[in-house]
Chain A
Amino acid sequence: VATAAGTSDVVATATGPSFDQNVFVNCPFDAAYLPLLHVMLFAIHDLGFVARIAVENSPTNESRLDKIVRLIKESRLSVHDLSRLPSKPGDLPRFNMPFECGLAFGVIRSSPEDEHRDMLFMTKVPYQDKRTTSDLAGFDGVAHHNRSAELIEAIRTFLRKHSTAPMRGEEAITARLNRFRRALPRIAAAGEFSVNEIKSFGYLPDWMALMSGWIQQNPTES
């Protein structure tokens, strides 16, 4: 279907069956951010989309950067959390998030035939992006203040623009996330692993599998 040189691989992946539902997630990958990451991943799936993330298992032995580029191309939407700044003097800034945000922006701009791609970027406090990534002038970042409710609301508002399906509100999503958390001890016991293990960063792909499976099993709030 490619019509222009250099865009064939983008077009090929953009027509995949799950392209419309895929949301590439770009955020800090560490224990400090993990609670917010769990919230974000749950919200994306509970709103009918599929989170694509660099720690998910890959069928091939591709490089990290190739994998990130592939996931961006395979996703119609992307969410970029640019909130992380050095916490104390001497800490180095983390360039991965703005770098991957730039990659996603490049894919959007280089795929004019695919006008439905879109991206959301978030910061910790309002106007933080005006100082840290001023090249994004004209795009409004959303501040989540490291609060789960504001993070869910930002994700929901963004995905709302790209879906005609009914979407539950932030409070309902939070209530369902708490239900899933309360079910985790039973789930862990049945699977013969501990709650602490499944909530750790090393088990994130497994947590995602359980989370998405639980949402499919529990499509309604009550």
Chain B
Amino acid sequence: MLRSSRDGKFVDGRSGKFADTPKTTQVEVVYRTYPSATGPKNLTPQQIKKALAAA
């Protein structure tokens, strides 16, 4: 764990020692997906109209 010090250096939160550059931690990034967000619909307007006619 790293904390910024007043002179711009970083302090290791566990050891308390100064470090010039912060350590990096790998983080897994999970993206939300939006199927069909920009593509065509699965059904055509004609299919929608025909289907609703049967409702």
Residues of A whose CB lies within 8 Å of any CB of B are 29, 54-55, 57-58, 60-62, 64, 67, 92, 94, 96, 183, 186-193, 197, 201-206, 209-210, 213-214, 217-218
- Complex: how many Å from CA A190 to CA B53? 8
- Complex: how many Å from CA A209 to CA B48? 7
Contact partners of A205 in chain B: CB under 8 A: 36, 41-42
- Complex: how many Å from CA A189 to CA B53? 11
- Complex: how many Å from CA A192 to CA B47? 8
Cβ of A177 to closest chain B Cβ, rounded Å: 14
Tier of interface size on chain B: 20 to 34
Residues of B whose CB lies within 8 Å of any CB of A are 28, 30, 32-43, 47-48, 50-55
> Is the contact region of chain A dominated by helix, strand, or loop, or is it mixed?
helix
Establish whether residues A202 and B55, one from each chain, have CB atoms under 8 Å apart when the complex forms.
no
Closest to A58 in B: B38
Contact partners of A188 in chain B: CB under 8 A: 51
